[in-house]
């Protein structure tokens, strides 16, 4: 799609080998999962607070107000 719309001339896709994906991000999400198992999160501000407490250094958390509907974006009005 990126090439088709003229955003890029070429797109290269790569995949990590199974078992070789462990990285800092894996550790961070593991800590989230452990913390979230023990807590009942009832709101987005509560979740944001937990995320910030769980990680070091503290991450910057952004909330998305809206997202694009990819199906409609790709197909246009004909996709409905």
pLDDT-above-70 percentage for the chain: 84
| Per-residue model confidence as pLDDT tens digits over 33-61 | 888 888 888 898 988 888 888 887 888 88
State the pLDDT at residue 21. 62
State the pLDDT at residue 80. 53
pLDDT class for 9, splitting at 50, 70, 90?
Answer: very high
Q: Is the pLDDT of residue 22 over 70?
A: no
Q: What is the pTM of this model?
A: 0.50
How distant is the alpha carbon of residue 70 from its chain centre?
16
List the structure tokens of 44: 């987005």
Report DSSP letters for 44-62, one per residue: HHHHHHHHHHHSSSPPP--
Domain boundaries, the chain: 24-79
CB-based contact 54:35 (threshold 8 Å): yes
Ramachandran assignment for 11, one of left (phi > 0), alpha (psi -120 to 50 degrees), beta (any other):
beta
């Amino acid at each position: 799609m990126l090439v088709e719309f003229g955003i890029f001339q070429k797109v290269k896709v790569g995949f990590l080998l199974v078992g070789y994906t462990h990285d800092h991000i894996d550790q961070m999400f593991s800590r989230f999962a452990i913390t979230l198992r023990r807590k009942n999160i009832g709101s987005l501000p509560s979740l944001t607070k937990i995320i910030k407490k769980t990680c070091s250094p503290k991450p910057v958390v952004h909330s998305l107000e809206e997202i694009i509907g990819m199906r409609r974006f790709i197909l246009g009005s004909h996709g409905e």
